[in-house]
Amino acid sequence: MADLLDPELVGPLKMRLSLVPVNLHDIPATRVAGERLVAEIKKQSPPIEGVITDDRNVPGPPNAPNVFIRVYRPTNRTDILPALLWIHGGGFVLSNVEGSDLQIKRLTKAIDCVVASVEYRRAPENPYPAAIEDCYAALKWMASNTRELGIDKNRLAIGGGSAGGGLAASLALLARDRAEVNIVFQLLIYPMIDDTNVTQASPTVPDTLLWTRESNLLGWKAYLGADFGKKTVSAYAAAFRAKDLTGLPPAYIVLGELDPFLKEDITYAQRLINANVPTELHVYPGACHGFDNWALNAEVSKRFTADLNEALKRALHS
């Protein structure tokens, strides 16, 4: 598997794994290490000008705590803008709003939109449905406060990466079925959507890079709790389980060819197309899971980001 990796990603991947190995056998320690790395990266990064942020605690799901949201807005725009609800990744157990802060500031500037990044409750302390219900509460809050936020209720998108992409896919299903909020676009970045994709293809086939199937197994176990391994897992937990994909908003699905989610994401894209959902799929050769976050200057990452930004601009500003 490593010999297929884009040469520009080899060094950054080794560096990333040396700084914070992905170890879901010790989730608390991995969280702390990740947060330290994020703090160090932010300290060393030049400030991103032209974006203001506003931290909010908004009403959570019934009988649940408030939900923390960070709202991003371009400083040069005071008019009504389209908006994106962003859901961070981390295998349902890691990362937080702060972890994607620089990424979302860059996105806000590039797309010229308002972004609300949601801090959902993580597993295993809070298994399904805590995370998806927190995301839905954040979505409802955005849709109910469009005037205050300066956003267009008719141009509201959702998106996320990895587990955040999986939550976004499930949120699209939940919003369709509850019929309270209209979503115009779903941005699914290497989405984690199939809870059964937890074993290697064979003993002789090497596992994928960075996010392995062992990590995938542990992440899904933490999120689904007692429901893990059952045939009755809800599509609101794992979107791949959905029987009916009709009526969903247009989708943009993007990942690398060395991603453990390759098969499930391509299959999901095909099913969306078969359900008459406008769907764009991009697969980048030589790229593994999360490559765009820790190899920003690689040519494949630049293409990935430029294509994604253009798709989001078309969806929100056309």
What CATH number does residue 9 fall under? 3.40.50.1820
How does DSSP assign the chain, residue by residue?
-GGGS-HHHHHHHHHHHHHS---TTSHHHHHHHHHHHHHHHHHHSPP-TTEEEEEEEE--STTS--EEEEEEEETT--S-EEEEEEE--STTTS--TGGGHHHHHHHHHHHTSEEEEEEPPPTTTS-TTHHHHHHHHHHHHHHH-HHHHTEEEEEEEEEEETHHHHHHHHHHHHHHHHTSS---EEEEES----TT--S-S-TTSPPPSSS-HHHHHHHHHHHHGGGTT-TT--TTT-GGG-S--TTPPPEEEEEETT-TTHHHHHHHHHHHHHTT--EEEEEETT--TTHHHH-TTSHHHHHHHHHHHHHHHHHHH-
pLDDT of residue 203: 64
Query: Which range marks the domain in which residue 48 is found?
Result: 2-317
Q: What is the pLDDT of residue 201?
A: 64
In the chain, the number of structural domains is 1
Q: Active-site residue among 95, 162, 215, 301?
A: 162
Q: Which long-range contacts (CB under 8 A, 24 or more apart) does 290-293 make?
A: 290/89, 290/161, 290/162, 290/190, 290/210, 290/211, 291/6, 291/9, 291/12, 291/13, 291/256, 293/103, 293/161
pLDDT in the model for residue 140: 98
Is 100 one of the catalytic residues? no
289 a catalytic residue: yes
Q: Which residue from 300, 288, 295, 292 is spatially nearest to 259, judged by alpha carbons?
A: 288
Q: Which of 259, 265, 292, 301 is catalytic?
A: 259
Query: Catalytic residue among 100, 195, 215, 289, which?
Result: 289
162: annotated active-site residue: yes
Q: Rounded to two decimals, what is the model's pTM?
A: 0.97
Run means of pLDDT, 10 residues per run, the chain, 318 residues: 88 91 94 95 92 98 97 93 98 98 97 98 98 98 97 97 98 98 98 93 69 94 97 97 98 96 97 98 97 96 98 96
Instruction: Check residue 318 and give its pLDDT.
Output: 87
Q: Supply the pLDDT for residue 31.
A: 97
